Amino acid sequence: MKCNFCPKPATLHITDLHKGVVKTIHLCNSCAQKHIADLTADVETDPAQPNEATAVSMLQLHLAEVTEESEEQEQQRCPICGITYQEFRKRGRLGCPNDYTLFAEPLTPLLENIHGSTQHTGKIPRRTPAESRKKYELIRLRNELRQAIRDENYEEAAKLRDQIRTLEQQQASE
């Protein structure tokens, strides 16, 4: 996504709710610094707005973190294909499978936003035998069970365990 004020890529996204109207602003680092400076000046002239002062302070802190992260990402280069995260943002394509691991932190929210998930599930052909579908379902449920246990979500893990047992019993009876 590009900055609202210049052609650079946006690194800060601000959503403002004012009198029931939602306004979203996408800013690059330099425009964000100008925007925050303007907000700071407005808050200093009207000290009766403590919530705005807090919001501006939080924006300044977030911008510092984003700037630091983006500088690290710009310097990070894949040892296999040589692509940087900025090159990926410009081209829209990664250079090799290693890039998914190398750029996992910035890619994860991007993939979740675009695809709704970070795991490719693909499609199962219609002609696939029922036995293969059940095996695939068992594999999927076991992976979800492992993740639920890792996340210490024991209620979900118990439900998944019961589903796995039911499927295994169905396979044994067939």
Residue scoring higher pLDDT (72 or 155): 155
Domain count, the chain: 3
Say whether both 28 and 63 belong to one domain. yes
Say whether both 58 and 84 belong to one domain. no
Residue scoring higher pLDDT (57 or 163): 163
| Mean pLDDT value of segment 157-173 | 91
Say whether both 32 and 48 belong to one domain. yes
Say whether both 50 and 100 belong to one domain. no
Instruction: State which residues form the domain around 110.
Output: 79-120
What is the C-alpha to C-alpha distance for residues 159 and 119, in angstroms, rounded to an integer? 21
The CA-based dihedral angle spanning residues 148, 151, 156, 158, taken in that order and rounded to the nearest 10 degrees:
70
Say whether both 94 and 135 belong to one domain. no
User: What is the predicted pLDDT for the residue at 52?
Assistant: 53
Say whether both 2 and 69 belong to one domain. yes
What is the C-alpha to C-alpha distance for residues 110 and 97, in angstroms, rounded to an integer? 17
Percent of the chain at pLDDT > 70 equals: 75
Residue 163 lies in a domain: yes
Say whether both 2 and 49 belong to one domain. yes
Q: Are 137 and 128 in contact (CB under 8 A)?
A: no
Secondary structure string (H, E, C) spanning 141-166: HHHHHHHHHHCCCHHHHHHHHHHHHH
Say whether both 113 and 83 belong to one domain. yes
**159 has pLDDT over 90:** yes
Question: Which tens digits make up the pLDDT trace of 89-142?
Answer: 888 888 898 888 888 888 888 777 777 777 777 777 778 788 888 888 898 899
Residue scoring higher pLDDT (5 or 166): 166
Residue 142 lies in a domain: yes
Question: Which tens digits make up the pLDDT trace of 28-47?
Answer: 777 877 877 776 665 555 55
Residue 125 lies in a domain: no
User: What is the predicted pLDDT for the residue at 152?
Assistant: 92
Say whether both 64 and 86 belong to one domain. no
Handedness of CA 47, 53, 54, 55 (dihedral sign): positive
User: What is the predicted pLDDT for the residue at 11?
Assistant: 75
User: For the whole prediction, is pTM greater than 0.95?
Assistant: no
